[in-house]
A and B are shown apart, each in its own frame.
Chain A
């Protein structure tokens, strides 16, 4: 029985992880206040609300904090069960499949993507790019099996796994741009390439997906400061 208290989300526009709960809230038609963090200085509210990790996103529902992007997405699904579509599939096996691939994306695939920026030298860079491509190939296969001909991993509507992977598309495009490669190649991963277009065009997504150029500018800024890609979660 989630009381419809105030909903706030602490985040920042470039973060792919912040995008996840935003899409979830949009899908559920839940109004929320977006509290944008300034880059380089964490607010008191953030530090109080997420003392363990001190990271965005943090959802504040009636002042109670929920942290970790995919934990928040599931929370949104649980807390507003009768609004909008179900974010997680209804069948337990399908739910397990979605959770499995989301864990793969966060624990293996995303780190392989940030590994590209960290790679020193041509050979290491190529190896890092190959790893990302291999992961995409696995995900292409998964998409075929899971979507069963429907537009999204979640079926007819954007779901949990769409959100998990889709939010990383911005940074994937920046990686392609900065390395002069095509990773989401229609020839190699046709299913995913078309899915990506549909995802980005979805009403729940298009307002919160940053433009690639704007993101690339931001990437240059932080790479200059940290000499590495952003860390996950």
Chain B
């Protein structure tokens, strides 16, 4: 039976990037299939009929979807370079914050990036509240995983990239060194860490993509305040 690992991804998907990081950190050999979101392959639709999204991991012919689910699968199947801590309470904590990142931090950051004026101010205020909680979670730690990169660092890693994109598009950092010293230090440490730093999508392609998304958002949204 084939032990092959295949990852369906796009060049820019932050969720797929999580899986790339995990695969690379664990030294797992895999093939990539680059999807075009505007023209999804039959295989992708077959392997993820419920959501029709990337990432999808295929292992020995069996598909797994949802990035955080894939991370746990990788951790349980390949034991080297463990991503989740062993202690049950620490595991619960990591899972809690990963969920918080996806449900609270990401949407508020995205809204802040896409909007302007009062809407952006409100989104930034909300994002800052959420970021403050992450800041507290980092106390006494280099990474969310402790001394080394773990599940939660991977789950929150998108923030490093988005902060850079934000700075280029809006001329300010959301996570700055004054208001969020620990989080800012973590962004730098994480971004430049071995393996992590080699996987970032090309910045000069990413910024235009977000600019286009922002313009499209303004074009379709009804009159904003």
**A residues with CB within 8 A of B:** 2, 52, 61, 64, 66-68, 71-72, 74-75, 78-79, 92-93, 95-97, 99-100, 103-104, 138
Contacts and interface: CB of A to CB of B under 8 A. Distances in A.
Contacts of A78: 88, 91-92
B69 A74 contact: no
Contacts of B50: 104, 138
B203 interface: no
Interface stretch (B33-41, B70-78, B217-225): B70-78
Interface residues on B, range: 20 to 34
Contacts of B77: 92
Contact of B69 (A52, A71, A75, A99): A99
B96 interface: yes
B73 A71 contact: no
B91 A99 contact: no
B92 A99 contact: no
A103 B72 CA distance: 13
Contacts of A68: 95-96, 99
Contacts of B69: 96, 99-100, 103
Contacts of A138: 50
Given A68-B99, A100-B69, 18 more contacts: A52-B133, A66-B92, A67-B96, A68-B95, A71-B96, A74-B91, A78-B92, A79-B88, A93-B73, A96-B70, A96-B73, A97-B64, A99-B66, A99-B72, A100-B65, A103-B68, A103-B69, A138-B50
8 contacts: A64-B89, A68-B96, A78-B91, A92-B77, A95-B76, A96-B73, A99-B69, A103-B66
Interface in B41-75: 50, 59, 62, 64-66, 68-70, 72-73
A77 B13 CA distance: 32
Interface of B: 50, 59, 62, 64-66, 68-70, 72-73, 76-77, 88-89, 91-92, 95-96, 99-100, 133
For B92, B100, B133, which residue has the most chain A Cβ atoms within 10 angstroms?
B92
B72 A95 contact: yes
B183 to A, nearest CB: 16
A175 B92 CA distance: 32
A71 B65 contact: no
B72 A66 contact: no
Nearest to B65: A100
A95 B96 contact: no
A104 B65 CA distance: 11
Given A68-B99, A99-B66, A100-B64, A92 B91 contact: no
Contacts of A103: 66, 68-69
